[in-house]
Structure 1
Amino acid sequence: MQLTCRFYKNKLPETDELVMVCITQIEEMGVDTGLLEYNNTKGMILLSEISRRRIRSINKLIRVGRKEVAVVLRVDADKGYIDLSKYRASPEDIVKCEEKFFRGKTVNSILYHTAEVTGVQTNLEFEELYEKTAWYYDEKYGKQGAVYDVFVRAANNEHELDDCQIDETTRKVLINNIRHHVSSQAVKYRADVEVACYGYEGIDAVKAALKEGLKASTEEMPIKINLIAPPLYAVTATFRDRTEGINALNNVIQKIRQTIEQYRGIFKIKMEPTMVTDANDRSPQEIIKDTQVSDDESDDSDSNEGK
Protein backbone atom coordinates (compact mmCIF):
# COMPACT_ATOMS: atom_id res chain seq x y z
CA MET A 1 0.00 0.00 0.00
CA GLN A 2 1.31 3.45 -0.94
CA LEU A 3 1.10 5.59 2.18
CA THR A 4 -0.31 9.09 1.67
CA CYS A 5 -1.08 12.03 3.93
CA ARG A 6 -1.78 15.74 3.51
CA PHE A 7 1.10 18.06 4.42
CA TYR A 8 -0.82 20.17 6.94
CA LYS A 9 -3.19 19.50 9.82
CA ASN A 10 -6.16 21.29 8.22
CA LYS A 11 -8.01 18.88 5.95
CA LEU A 12 -8.84 21.67 3.51
CA PRO A 13 -7.09 24.95 2.63
CA GLU A 14 -8.36 28.33 3.76
CA THR A 15 -9.63 31.16 1.57
CA ASP A 16 -6.78 33.22 0.05
CA GLU A 17 -4.26 30.45 0.73
CA LEU A 18 -1.68 29.71 -1.97
CA VAL A 19 -1.70 26.07 -3.03
CA MET A 20 0.20 23.88 -5.47
CA VAL A 21 -2.09 21.97 -7.80
CA CYS A 22 -1.73 19.43 -10.57
CA ILE A 23 -3.96 19.85 -13.63
CA THR A 24 -6.03 16.66 -14.06
CA GLN A 25 -8.63 17.54 -16.70
CA ILE A 26 -9.82 20.44 -18.87
CA GLU A 27 -13.60 20.91 -18.86
CA GLU A 28 -16.00 23.37 -20.53
CA MET A 29 -16.54 25.30 -17.29
CA GLY A 30 -12.97 25.22 -16.05
CA VAL A 31 -9.97 23.10 -15.15
CA ASP A 32 -10.05 20.21 -12.67
CA THR A 33 -7.09 19.98 -10.32
CA GLY A 34 -5.69 17.96 -7.46
CA LEU A 35 -4.33 19.94 -4.49
CA LEU A 36 -0.94 18.30 -3.97
CA GLU A 37 -0.43 19.50 -0.38
CA TYR A 38 -3.91 18.27 0.58
CA ASN A 39 -3.66 14.66 -0.58
CA ASN A 40 -4.92 15.49 -4.09
CA THR A 41 -8.23 16.91 -2.86
CA LYS A 42 -10.17 18.10 -5.92
CA GLY A 43 -10.41 21.75 -6.85
CA MET A 44 -11.44 23.74 -9.92
CA ILE A 45 -9.98 26.76 -11.68
CA LEU A 46 -12.86 28.50 -13.47
CA LEU A 47 -12.14 29.66 -17.02
CA SER A 48 -12.48 33.29 -15.94
CA GLU A 49 -9.75 32.74 -13.34
CA ILE A 50 -7.10 31.35 -15.68
CA SER A 51 -5.99 34.62 -17.28
CA ARG A 52 -6.82 38.31 -17.04
CA ARG A 53 -6.87 38.54 -20.83
CA ARG A 54 -9.09 36.92 -23.40
CA ILE A 55 -8.06 33.31 -23.92
CA ARG A 56 -7.38 32.37 -27.52
CA SER A 57 -6.44 28.76 -26.75
CA ILE A 58 -6.76 27.26 -23.27
CA ASN A 59 -4.44 24.40 -24.24
CA LYS A 60 -1.60 26.90 -24.63
CA LEU A 61 -2.12 28.19 -21.09
CA ILE A 62 -2.99 24.99 -19.23
CA ARG A 63 -1.68 21.48 -19.75
CA VAL A 64 -2.87 18.26 -18.11
CA GLY A 65 -0.22 16.94 -15.74
CA ARG A 66 1.43 20.31 -15.19
CA LYS A 67 1.80 21.79 -11.71
CA GLU A 68 0.52 25.33 -11.12
CA VAL A 69 0.28 27.75 -8.21
CA ALA A 70 -3.27 28.86 -7.45
CA VAL A 71 -5.10 31.09 -4.96
CA VAL A 72 -8.03 29.63 -3.04
CA LEU A 73 -11.17 31.70 -3.71
CA ARG A 74 -13.88 29.66 -1.98
CA VAL A 75 -14.08 26.51 0.11
CA ASP A 76 -17.38 24.67 0.64
CA ALA A 77 -16.48 21.83 3.00
CA ASP A 78 -20.03 20.38 2.97
CA LYS A 79 -20.27 20.11 -0.81
CA GLY A 80 -16.58 19.52 -1.34
CA TYR A 81 -16.09 22.52 -3.64
CA ILE A 82 -12.78 24.37 -3.79
CA ASP A 83 -12.70 27.22 -6.31
CA LEU A 84 -9.26 28.42 -7.38
CA SER A 85 -7.66 31.20 -9.38
CA LYS A 86 -4.48 30.98 -11.41
CA TYR A 87 -4.14 34.58 -12.55
CA ARG A 88 -4.54 36.08 -9.05
CA ALA A 89 -1.24 34.51 -7.97
CA SER A 90 1.43 37.19 -8.39
CA PRO A 91 5.02 36.32 -9.36
CA GLU A 92 6.02 36.86 -5.71
CA ASP A 93 3.20 34.55 -4.58
CA ILE A 94 4.37 31.87 -6.99
CA VAL A 95 7.93 31.95 -5.64
CA LYS A 96 6.67 31.71 -2.04
CA CYS A 97 4.31 28.84 -2.83
CA GLU A 98 6.91 26.88 -4.78
CA GLU A 99 9.34 27.14 -1.89
CA LYS A 100 6.66 26.16 0.63
CA PHE A 101 5.74 23.16 -1.52
CA PHE A 102 9.40 22.13 -1.80
CA ARG A 103 9.74 22.24 1.98
CA GLY A 104 6.51 20.30 2.52
CA LYS A 105 7.51 17.69 -0.04
CA THR A 106 10.88 17.23 1.70
CA VAL A 107 9.19 16.72 5.08
CA ASN A 108 6.74 14.30 3.50
CA SER A 109 9.60 12.26 2.04
CA ILE A 110 11.39 12.13 5.42
CA LEU A 111 8.26 10.98 7.23
CA TYR A 112 7.32 8.51 4.47
CA HIS A 113 10.68 6.73 4.68
CA THR A 114 10.48 6.78 8.48
CA ALA A 115 7.04 5.16 8.29
CA GLU A 116 8.32 2.49 5.89
CA VAL A 117 11.23 1.50 8.13
CA THR A 118 9.15 1.45 11.32
CA GLY A 119 6.46 -0.75 9.80
CA VAL A 120 3.59 1.71 9.43
CA GLN A 121 0.85 -0.14 7.55
CA THR A 122 -2.07 2.27 7.09
CA ASN A 123 -2.70 5.89 6.16
CA LEU A 124 -4.26 6.38 9.62
CA GLU A 125 -0.97 5.34 11.26
CA PHE A 126 0.92 7.61 8.87
CA GLU A 127 -1.37 10.47 9.87
CA GLU A 128 -0.59 9.74 13.53
CA LEU A 129 3.12 10.11 12.75
CA TYR A 130 2.37 13.47 11.11
CA GLU A 131 0.33 14.47 14.15
CA LYS A 132 3.23 13.80 16.52
CA THR A 133 5.88 15.44 14.34
CA ALA A 134 5.11 17.81 11.46
CA TRP A 135 1.76 19.07 12.65
CA TYR A 136 2.98 19.35 16.25
CA TYR A 137 5.83 21.66 15.27
CA ASP A 138 3.71 23.65 12.82
CA GLU A 139 1.26 24.32 15.67
CA LYS A 140 4.04 25.01 18.17
CA TYR A 141 5.61 27.69 15.98
CA GLY A 142 2.33 28.92 14.48
CA LYS A 143 3.27 28.48 10.85
CA GLN A 144 2.57 26.01 8.05
CA GLY A 145 5.78 24.18 7.23
CA ALA A 146 7.66 25.31 10.37
CA VAL A 147 8.67 21.67 10.88
CA TYR A 148 11.09 21.93 7.93
CA ASP A 149 13.30 24.35 9.87
CA VAL A 150 13.07 22.11 12.94
CA PHE A 151 14.23 19.13 10.91
CA VAL A 152 17.14 21.13 9.44
CA ARG A 153 18.26 22.08 12.95
CA ALA A 154 17.78 18.49 14.13
CA ALA A 155 20.25 17.29 11.50
CA ASN A 156 22.99 18.90 13.61
CA ASN A 157 21.33 18.72 17.01
CA GLU A 158 18.98 15.81 17.63
CA HIS A 159 17.81 17.39 20.90
CA GLU A 160 15.61 19.65 18.74
CA LEU A 161 13.22 16.67 18.73
CA ASP A 162 13.25 16.06 22.49
CA ASP A 163 9.67 17.31 22.88
CA CYS A 164 8.45 15.09 20.05
CA GLN A 165 6.06 12.43 21.42
CA ILE A 166 7.34 9.40 19.50
CA ASP A 167 8.99 6.24 20.74
CA GLU A 168 12.77 5.92 20.81
CA THR A 169 12.96 3.55 17.83
CA THR A 170 10.91 5.88 15.61
CA ARG A 171 12.96 8.84 16.83
CA LYS A 172 16.25 7.22 15.80
CA VAL A 173 14.91 6.30 12.37
CA LEU A 174 13.50 9.82 11.94
CA ILE A 175 16.82 11.46 12.82
CA ASN A 176 18.70 9.20 10.41
CA ASN A 177 16.28 10.09 7.62
CA ILE A 178 16.54 13.80 8.42
CA ARG A 179 20.33 13.69 8.28
CA HIS A 180 20.29 11.75 5.02
CA HIS A 181 17.91 14.18 3.31
CA VAL A 182 19.39 17.41 4.66
CA SER A 183 23.03 16.48 4.03
CA SER A 184 22.35 15.34 0.47
CA GLN A 185 20.03 18.18 -0.42
CA ALA A 186 21.47 20.78 -2.72
CA VAL A 187 18.88 23.00 -4.38
CA LYS A 188 18.96 24.37 -7.90
CA TYR A 189 18.26 28.06 -8.49
CA ARG A 190 17.46 29.66 -11.81
CA ALA A 191 16.85 33.01 -13.45
CA ASP A 192 15.78 33.67 -17.06
CA VAL A 193 17.11 36.78 -18.82
CA GLU A 194 16.89 38.34 -22.25
CA VAL A 195 20.20 39.62 -23.62
CA ALA A 196 20.46 41.18 -27.09
CA CYS A 197 22.36 43.79 -29.05
CA TYR A 198 21.15 45.11 -32.41
CA GLY A 199 24.05 47.51 -32.88
CA TYR A 200 27.36 47.08 -34.67
CA GLU A 201 28.83 44.71 -32.05
CA GLY A 202 25.79 42.42 -32.22
CA ILE A 203 26.46 38.85 -31.10
CA ASP A 204 29.96 39.75 -29.91
CA ALA A 205 28.43 42.10 -27.34
CA VAL A 206 26.10 39.34 -26.13
CA LYS A 207 29.02 36.90 -25.81
CA ALA A 208 31.06 39.47 -23.90
CA ALA A 209 28.19 40.10 -21.47
CA LEU A 210 27.61 36.39 -20.82
CA LYS A 211 31.34 35.76 -20.33
CA GLU A 212 31.44 38.60 -17.82
CA GLY A 213 28.59 36.94 -15.92
CA LEU A 214 30.41 33.61 -15.90
CA LYS A 215 33.42 35.22 -14.23
CA ALA A 216 31.38 35.02 -11.02
CA SER A 217 31.46 31.22 -11.29
CA THR A 218 33.88 29.36 -9.01
CA GLU A 219 34.72 25.73 -8.38
CA GLU A 220 32.73 25.85 -5.14
CA MET A 221 29.86 27.78 -6.74
CA PRO A 222 29.63 26.84 -10.43
CA ILE A 223 27.30 29.00 -12.53
CA LYS A 224 25.84 27.87 -15.85
CA ILE A 225 24.31 29.98 -18.61
CA ASN A 226 22.31 28.11 -21.24
CA LEU A 227 20.62 29.40 -24.37
CA ILE A 228 16.88 28.73 -24.46
CA ALA A 229 16.14 30.59 -27.70
CA PRO A 230 17.62 33.96 -28.75
CA PRO A 231 17.51 36.32 -26.92
CA LEU A 232 16.46 34.21 -23.87
CA TYR A 233 19.05 32.61 -21.55
CA ALA A 234 18.76 30.57 -18.34
CA VAL A 235 21.25 31.28 -15.56
CA THR A 236 21.44 28.35 -13.10
CA ALA A 237 23.40 27.33 -10.00
CA THR A 238 23.07 24.71 -7.27
CA PHE A 239 23.46 25.65 -3.61
CA ARG A 240 22.54 24.39 -0.15
CA ASP A 241 21.81 27.85 1.20
CA ARG A 242 18.89 29.83 -0.30
CA THR A 243 20.28 33.29 0.43
CA GLU A 244 23.67 32.32 -0.95
CA GLY A 245 22.09 30.95 -4.13
CA ILE A 246 19.90 33.96 -4.87
CA ASN A 247 22.71 36.44 -4.10
CA ALA A 248 25.05 34.58 -6.44
CA LEU A 249 22.56 34.65 -9.31
CA ASN A 250 21.80 38.33 -8.72
CA ASN A 251 25.54 39.05 -8.91
CA VAL A 252 25.79 37.24 -12.27
CA ILE A 253 22.73 39.03 -13.62
CA GLN A 254 24.11 42.42 -12.59
CA LYS A 255 27.41 41.74 -14.37
CA ILE A 256 25.57 40.72 -17.56
CA ARG A 257 23.35 43.81 -17.40
CA GLN A 258 26.25 46.23 -16.89
CA THR A 259 28.27 44.77 -19.75
CA ILE A 260 25.49 44.56 -22.36
CA GLU A 261 24.36 48.10 -21.52
CA GLN A 262 27.89 49.35 -22.21
CA TYR A 263 27.31 48.17 -25.79
CA ARG A 264 23.85 49.84 -25.75
CA GLY A 265 22.30 46.42 -25.85
CA ILE A 266 19.01 45.20 -24.41
CA PHE A 267 18.62 43.44 -21.06
CA LYS A 268 15.46 42.20 -19.37
CA ILE A 269 14.79 39.81 -16.49
CA LYS A 270 12.08 37.35 -17.52
CA MET A 271 12.17 35.30 -14.30
CA GLU A 272 13.74 36.47 -11.05
CA PRO A 273 16.17 34.10 -9.28
CA THR A 274 13.97 31.27 -8.05
CA MET A 275 14.37 27.87 -6.46
CA VAL A 276 13.75 25.22 -9.12
CA THR A 277 11.00 22.77 -8.20
CA ASP A 278 8.96 20.20 -10.09
CA ALA A 279 6.46 22.98 -10.72
CA ASN A 280 8.72 25.47 -12.44
CA ASP A 281 11.51 23.33 -13.94
CA ARG A 282 10.25 23.82 -17.48
CA SER A 283 11.88 22.63 -20.64
CA PRO A 284 13.07 25.18 -23.23
CA GLN A 285 10.16 24.17 -25.47
CA GLU A 286 7.63 24.98 -22.73
CA ILE A 287 9.25 28.36 -22.04
CA ILE A 288 9.17 29.27 -25.72
CA LYS A 289 5.50 28.28 -25.95
CA ASP A 290 4.64 30.37 -22.88
CA THR A 291 6.47 33.36 -24.33
CA GLN A 292 4.49 33.00 -27.55
CA VAL A 293 1.24 32.76 -25.58
CA SER A 294 2.09 35.94 -23.69
CA ASP A 295 2.74 37.76 -26.96
CA ASP A 296 -0.54 36.48 -28.43
CA GLU A 297 -2.48 37.67 -25.39
CA SER A 298 -0.92 41.13 -25.59
CA ASP A 299 -1.92 41.36 -29.24
CA ASP A 300 -5.47 40.33 -28.38
CA SER A 301 -5.63 42.87 -25.56
CA ASP A 302 -4.36 45.67 -27.77
CA SER A 303 -6.80 44.86 -30.56
CA ASN A 304 -9.72 44.72 -28.12
CA GLU A 305 -8.81 48.08 -26.61
CA GLY A 306 -8.91 49.68 -30.02
CA LYS A 307 -12.47 48.55 -30.68
Structure 2
Amino acid sequence: MAETKTAAARGYDWPDEGELVVCTVTNVKNFGAFVTLDEYEAKEGFIHIAEVSSGWIKYIRDYVREGQKVVCKVLKVDKDKGHIDLSLKAVNEHQRREKIQEWKNEQKAENLLGIVAQRLGKTVDECWQEFGYDILDSFGTLYRAFEESVMDEDALEGEGFKGPWVKTFIEVAKENIIPPHVTIDGYVEATDFCPEGAIHIKEALAKAAMESDGLSVKVQYIGAPRYRVVVRAPDYKTAEEEIQKAAARVIKALTAKGGEAKFHRKD
Protein backbone atom coordinates (compact mmCIF):
# COMPACT_ATOMS: atom_id res chain seq x y z
CA MET A 1 0.00 0.00 0.00
CA ALA A 2 1.32 3.40 -0.90
CA GLU A 3 2.27 5.61 2.00
CA THR A 4 0.04 8.57 2.66
CA LYS A 5 1.78 11.76 3.72
CA THR A 6 0.15 14.05 6.21
CA ALA A 7 1.24 16.97 4.10
CA ALA A 8 0.09 19.80 6.34
CA ALA A 9 1.54 18.16 9.43
CA ARG A 10 4.90 17.43 7.81
CA GLY A 11 5.11 20.91 6.40
CA TYR A 12 5.10 19.83 2.76
CA ASP A 13 4.14 22.75 0.53
CA TRP A 14 4.11 20.94 -2.80
CA PRO A 15 3.34 17.40 -3.94
CA ASP A 16 5.92 15.23 -5.68
CA GLU A 17 5.65 14.34 -9.34
CA GLY A 18 4.07 10.90 -9.65
CA GLU A 19 2.26 11.23 -6.32
CA LEU A 20 -1.45 10.45 -6.02
CA VAL A 21 -3.44 13.30 -4.50
CA VAL A 22 -7.03 13.84 -3.39
CA CYS A 23 -8.61 16.85 -5.08
CA THR A 24 -11.87 18.77 -5.13
CA VAL A 25 -13.12 19.95 -8.52
CA THR A 26 -13.78 23.70 -8.36
CA ASN A 27 -14.29 24.86 -11.95
CA VAL A 28 -15.00 22.84 -15.10
CA LYS A 29 -14.21 24.31 -18.52
CA ASN A 30 -14.42 22.87 -22.02
CA PHE A 31 -10.62 22.50 -22.08
CA GLY A 32 -10.18 20.96 -18.63
CA ALA A 33 -10.92 21.21 -14.93
CA PHE A 34 -9.46 23.26 -12.10
CA VAL A 35 -9.15 21.56 -8.73
CA THR A 36 -7.83 22.20 -5.26
CA LEU A 37 -5.47 19.72 -3.61
CA ASP A 38 -7.06 18.78 -0.29
CA GLU A 39 -3.80 17.59 1.29
CA TYR A 40 -1.79 20.65 0.30
CA GLU A 41 -3.64 23.56 1.87
CA ALA A 42 -5.99 23.82 -1.11
CA LYS A 43 -3.30 24.60 -3.68
CA GLU A 44 -4.77 24.78 -7.17
CA GLY A 45 -4.11 22.21 -9.87
CA PHE A 46 -5.31 21.69 -13.42
CA ILE A 47 -6.49 18.60 -15.32
CA HIS A 48 -6.28 19.12 -19.08
CA ILE A 49 -9.15 17.55 -21.00
CA ALA A 50 -6.66 15.11 -22.56
CA GLU A 51 -5.88 13.84 -19.04
CA VAL A 52 -9.50 13.40 -17.96
CA SER A 53 -10.20 10.16 -19.82
CA SER A 54 -8.49 7.80 -22.26
CA GLY A 55 -11.45 7.89 -24.64
CA TRP A 56 -12.93 10.70 -26.69
CA ILE A 57 -14.77 13.23 -24.56
CA LYS A 58 -17.86 14.91 -25.95
CA TYR A 59 -19.06 16.49 -22.70
CA ILE A 60 -16.41 16.95 -20.04
CA ARG A 61 -19.08 17.26 -17.35
CA ASP A 62 -19.94 13.62 -17.95
CA TYR A 63 -16.58 12.90 -16.27
CA VAL A 64 -16.00 15.69 -13.76
CA ARG A 65 -18.24 18.21 -12.03
CA GLU A 66 -17.86 20.98 -9.48
CA GLY A 67 -17.65 19.74 -5.89
CA GLN A 68 -16.59 16.22 -6.89
CA LYS A 69 -13.75 14.47 -5.05
CA VAL A 70 -11.25 12.94 -7.45
CA VAL A 71 -7.88 11.22 -7.16
CA CYS A 72 -5.24 12.46 -9.58
CA LYS A 73 -1.65 11.69 -10.42
CA VAL A 74 0.75 14.64 -10.30
CA LEU A 75 2.36 15.08 -13.73
CA LYS A 76 4.35 18.27 -13.26
CA VAL A 77 4.95 20.84 -10.54
CA ASP A 78 6.18 24.34 -11.36
CA LYS A 79 6.73 26.08 -8.04
CA ASP A 80 7.84 29.35 -9.63
CA LYS A 81 4.63 29.70 -11.63
CA GLY A 82 2.48 27.98 -9.02
CA HIS A 83 1.26 25.40 -11.53
CA ILE A 84 0.40 21.77 -10.77
CA ASP A 85 -0.53 19.63 -13.78
CA LEU A 86 -2.62 16.57 -12.96
CA SER A 87 -3.99 13.47 -14.64
CA LEU A 88 -7.26 11.77 -13.81
CA LYS A 89 -6.98 9.03 -16.44
CA ALA A 90 -3.61 7.83 -15.06
CA VAL A 91 -5.31 6.60 -11.86
CA ASN A 92 -7.05 3.23 -11.99
CA GLU A 93 -10.04 2.27 -9.86
CA HIS A 94 -7.99 0.26 -7.36
CA GLN A 95 -5.60 3.17 -6.81
CA ARG A 96 -8.52 5.57 -6.47
CA ARG A 97 -10.27 3.50 -3.80
CA GLU A 98 -7.04 2.89 -1.91
CA LYS A 99 -6.04 6.55 -1.93
CA ILE A 100 -9.49 7.76 -0.83
CA GLN A 101 -9.47 5.26 2.04
CA GLU A 102 -5.98 6.34 3.12
CA TRP A 103 -7.05 9.97 3.00
CA LYS A 104 -10.16 9.26 5.09
CA ASN A 105 -8.08 7.26 7.56
CA GLU A 106 -5.62 10.10 8.00
CA GLN A 107 -8.42 12.60 8.50
CA LYS A 108 -9.83 10.36 11.20
CA ALA A 109 -6.40 10.00 12.78
CA GLU A 110 -5.95 13.76 12.98
CA ASN A 111 -9.34 14.03 14.69
CA LEU A 112 -8.24 11.36 17.17
CA LEU A 113 -5.06 13.29 17.85
CA GLY A 114 -7.33 16.17 18.79
CA ILE A 115 -8.99 13.92 21.39
CA VAL A 116 -5.58 12.88 22.70
CA ALA A 117 -4.57 16.53 22.99
CA GLN A 118 -7.77 17.42 24.84
CA ARG A 119 -7.29 14.63 27.37
CA LEU A 120 -3.69 15.64 27.93
CA GLY A 121 -4.63 19.28 28.37
CA LYS A 122 -2.48 20.29 25.41
CA THR A 123 -3.07 21.86 22.02
CA VAL A 124 -2.93 19.72 18.90
CA ASP A 125 0.13 21.66 17.76
CA GLU A 126 1.88 20.87 21.04
CA CYS A 127 1.15 17.18 20.49
CA TRP A 128 2.58 17.35 16.99
CA GLN A 129 5.71 18.96 18.34
CA GLU A 130 6.07 16.57 21.30
CA PHE A 131 5.47 13.26 19.53
CA GLY A 132 3.38 13.60 16.36
CA TYR A 133 6.17 14.26 13.88
CA ASP A 134 8.25 11.45 15.39
CA ILE A 135 5.28 9.08 15.04
CA LEU A 136 5.09 9.90 11.33
CA ASP A 137 8.79 9.13 10.97
CA SER A 138 8.38 5.77 12.74
CA PHE A 139 5.03 4.56 11.40
CA GLY A 140 4.68 6.40 8.09
CA THR A 141 1.18 7.67 8.89
CA LEU A 142 -0.62 8.77 12.01
CA TYR A 143 -3.46 6.33 11.39
CA ARG A 144 -1.05 3.41 11.21
CA ALA A 145 0.27 4.33 14.65
CA PHE A 146 -3.26 4.30 16.10
CA GLU A 147 -4.02 1.04 14.30
CA GLU A 148 -0.89 -0.75 15.50
CA SER A 149 -1.51 0.49 19.04
CA VAL A 150 -4.83 -1.37 18.99
CA MET A 151 -3.25 -4.60 17.76
CA ASP A 152 -0.18 -4.33 20.01
CA GLU A 153 -0.11 -2.16 23.13
CA ASP A 154 3.70 -2.24 23.04
CA ALA A 155 3.91 -0.91 19.48
CA LEU A 156 4.78 2.64 20.53
CA GLU A 157 7.28 1.61 23.19
CA GLY A 158 8.77 -0.80 20.69
CA GLU A 159 9.61 2.22 18.55
CA GLY A 160 11.21 3.96 21.52
CA PHE A 161 8.31 6.21 22.55
CA LYS A 162 7.86 6.97 26.24
CA GLY A 163 5.88 9.38 28.35
CA PRO A 164 2.46 9.85 29.93
CA TRP A 165 0.91 10.55 26.52
CA VAL A 166 1.50 6.95 25.39
CA LYS A 167 -1.22 5.53 27.66
CA THR A 168 -3.73 8.16 26.48
CA PHE A 169 -2.83 7.54 22.84
CA ILE A 170 -3.50 3.81 23.24
CA GLU A 171 -6.79 4.44 25.06
CA VAL A 172 -8.07 6.70 22.28
CA ALA A 173 -6.94 4.18 19.67
CA LYS A 174 -8.83 1.33 21.34
CA GLU A 175 -11.97 3.42 21.68
CA ASN A 176 -12.07 4.47 18.04
CA ILE A 177 -10.13 2.11 15.77
CA ILE A 178 -11.37 -1.26 14.55
CA PRO A 179 -8.28 -3.36 13.85
CA PRO A 180 -7.86 -4.86 10.38
CA HIS A 181 -8.64 -8.53 9.92
CA VAL A 182 -8.43 -11.41 7.49
CA THR A 183 -10.86 -14.28 6.95
CA ILE A 184 -9.95 -17.83 5.88
CA ASP A 185 -11.89 -21.06 5.80
CA GLY A 186 -11.60 -24.81 5.40
CA TYR A 187 -13.94 -27.71 5.99
CA VAL A 188 -14.25 -30.72 8.23
CA GLU A 189 -15.65 -34.05 7.11
CA ALA A 190 -17.28 -35.54 10.20
CA THR A 191 -18.92 -38.96 10.46
CA ASP A 192 -20.20 -41.05 13.34
CA PHE A 193 -22.44 -44.03 12.62
CA CYS A 194 -23.37 -44.91 16.18
CA PRO A 195 -26.98 -44.28 17.37
CA GLU A 196 -26.01 -40.95 18.96
CA GLY A 197 -23.65 -39.98 16.15
CA ALA A 198 -25.48 -36.76 15.27
CA ILE A 199 -25.17 -35.56 18.86
CA HIS A 200 -21.48 -36.48 18.96
CA ILE A 201 -20.82 -34.52 15.77
CA LYS A 202 -22.72 -31.48 17.05
CA GLU A 203 -20.79 -31.53 20.34
CA ALA A 204 -17.46 -31.95 18.53
CA LEU A 205 -18.14 -29.04 16.17
CA ALA A 206 -19.05 -26.87 19.15
CA LYS A 207 -15.46 -27.35 20.34
CA ALA A 208 -14.22 -25.42 17.31
CA ALA A 209 -16.27 -22.27 17.87
CA MET A 210 -14.71 -19.45 19.86
CA GLU A 211 -14.61 -15.68 20.01
CA SER A 212 -12.24 -13.26 21.69
CA ASP A 213 -10.79 -9.81 20.99
CA GLY A 214 -9.97 -9.68 17.29
CA LEU A 215 -10.42 -13.41 16.77
CA SER A 216 -13.38 -15.62 15.98
CA VAL A 217 -13.94 -19.20 14.82
CA LYS A 218 -17.35 -20.20 13.47
CA VAL A 219 -18.71 -23.44 12.04
CA GLN A 220 -21.23 -23.44 9.18
CA TYR A 221 -23.22 -26.38 7.85
CA ILE A 222 -22.49 -27.18 4.19
CA GLY A 223 -24.15 -30.56 3.81
CA ALA A 224 -23.42 -33.74 5.73
CA PRO A 225 -20.75 -34.82 6.28
CA ARG A 226 -19.08 -31.47 5.52
CA TYR A 227 -18.95 -28.43 7.79
CA ARG A 228 -17.16 -25.19 7.00
CA VAL A 229 -14.78 -23.70 9.58
CA VAL A 230 -14.39 -19.91 9.21
CA VAL A 231 -11.66 -18.01 11.05
CA ARG A 232 -11.45 -14.23 11.38
CA ALA A 233 -8.13 -12.97 12.76
CA PRO A 234 -5.83 -9.92 12.70
CA ASP A 235 -3.40 -11.56 10.25
CA TYR A 236 -2.95 -14.66 8.08
CA LYS A 237 -0.39 -16.31 10.34
CA THR A 238 -2.72 -16.17 13.33
CA ALA A 239 -5.67 -17.27 11.19
CA GLU A 240 -3.82 -20.32 9.89
CA GLU A 241 -2.74 -21.30 13.40
CA GLU A 242 -6.27 -20.95 14.76
CA ILE A 243 -7.99 -22.90 11.98
CA GLN A 244 -5.61 -25.79 12.56
CA LYS A 245 -6.26 -25.66 16.31
CA ALA A 246 -10.03 -25.55 15.75
CA ALA A 247 -9.89 -28.54 13.41
CA ALA A 248 -7.75 -30.45 15.90
CA ARG A 249 -10.32 -29.83 18.64
CA VAL A 250 -13.10 -31.26 16.46
CA ILE A 251 -11.08 -34.31 15.44
CA LYS A 252 -10.03 -35.04 19.02
CA ALA A 253 -13.57 -34.70 20.40
CA LEU A 254 -15.19 -36.83 17.71
CA THR A 255 -12.62 -39.63 17.64
CA ALA A 256 -12.95 -39.89 21.42
CA LYS A 257 -16.61 -40.81 20.83
CA GLY A 258 -15.77 -43.37 18.15
CA GLY A 259 -16.39 -41.13 15.14
CA GLU A 260 -14.06 -39.87 12.43
CA ALA A 261 -13.13 -36.41 11.20
CA LYS A 262 -10.77 -35.04 8.58
CA PHE A 263 -9.83 -31.43 7.96
CA HIS A 264 -9.30 -29.90 4.52
CA ARG A 265 -7.86 -26.40 4.27
CA LYS A 266 -9.61 -25.67 0.95
CA ASP A 267 -12.86 -26.93 -0.53
Is the Cα contact below 8 Å between 1:132 and 1:165 reproduced in 2?
Answer: no
Distance 1:115 1:5 in 2: 20
SS in structure 2 at match of 1:88: coil
After TM superposition, give the deviation of residue 88 of structure 1 in Å. 0.9
Structure 1 residues 226-245: aligned runs within 5 Å: none
After TM superposition, give the deviation of residue 172 of structure 1 in Å. 4.1
Partner amino acid for 1:150? A
Is the Cα contact below 8 Å between 1:69 and 1:98 reproduced in 2?
Answer: yes
Distance 1:98 1:160 in 2: 26
Provide the alpha-carbon RMSD of the alignment.
Answer: 3.5
Partner amino acid for 1:179? K
After TM superposition, give the deviation of residue 84 of structure 1 in Å. 0.9
For 1:153, the equivalent position in structure 2 comes to: 148
For 1:102, the equivalent position in structure 2 comes to: 104
Is the Cα contact below 8 Å between 2:147 and 2:173 reproduced in 1?
Answer: yes
Give aligned pairs, total.
182
For 1:18, the equivalent position in structure 2 comes to: 20
Distance 2:152 2:73 in 1: 37
Extract unaligned runs of 5+ from structure 1. 188-219, 222-238, 244-307
Is the Cα contact below 8 Å between 2:149 and 2:155 reproduced in 1?
Answer: yes
Is the Cα contact below 8 Å between 2:7 and 2:13 reproduced in 1?
Answer: no
Distance 2:234 2:67 in 1: 30
After TM superposition, give the deviation of residue 109 of structure 1 in Å. 2.1
TM-score, normalised relative to structure 2:
0.55
Distance 2:153 2:56 in 1: 54
After TM superposition, give the deviation of residue 14 of structure 1 in Å. 0.6
Is 26-35 or 44-53 further displaced after alignment?
A: 26-35
Structure 1 residues 53-92: aligned runs within 5 Å: 53-92=55-94
Distance 1:242 1:94 in 2: 24
For 1:6, the equivalent position in structure 2 comes to: 8
For 1:43, the equivalent position in structure 2 comes to: 45
Extract unaligned runs of 5+ from structure 2. 1-5, 182-216, 219-231, 237-267
Structure 1 residues 241 and 57, CA, compared in 2 at 3 Å: closer, same or farther? farther
Structure 1 residues 71 and 32, CA, compared in 2 at 3 Å: closer, same or farther? same
For 1:139, the equivalent position in structure 2 comes to: 137
Distance 1:25 1:166 in 2: 48
Distance 1:20 1:180 in 2: 28
**Largest Rg, 1 or 2:** 2
Identity of aligned residues (%): 23
Distance 1:166 1:39 in 2: 32
Structure 1 residues 175 and 88, CA, compared in 2 at 3 Å: closer, same or farther? same
Bigger relative CO (Cα 8 Å, ≥ 6 apart):
1
Partner amino acid for 2:146? F
TM-score, normalised relative to structure 1:
0.49
For 2:33, the equivalent position in structure 1 comes to: 31
For 1:176, the equivalent position in structure 2 comes to: 171
State the 4+ residue runs in structure 1 displaced beyond 4 angstroms. 116-121, 131-134, 163-167, 239-243
Distance 2:113 2:8 in 1: 12
Structure 1 residues 138 and 5, CA, compared in 2 at 3 Å: closer, same or farther? closer
Structure 1 residues 186 and 92, CA, compared in 2 at 3 Å: closer, same or farther? closer
Is the Cα contact below 8 Å between 1:7 and 1:104 reproduced in 2?
Answer: no
Distance 2:170 2:75 in 1: 38
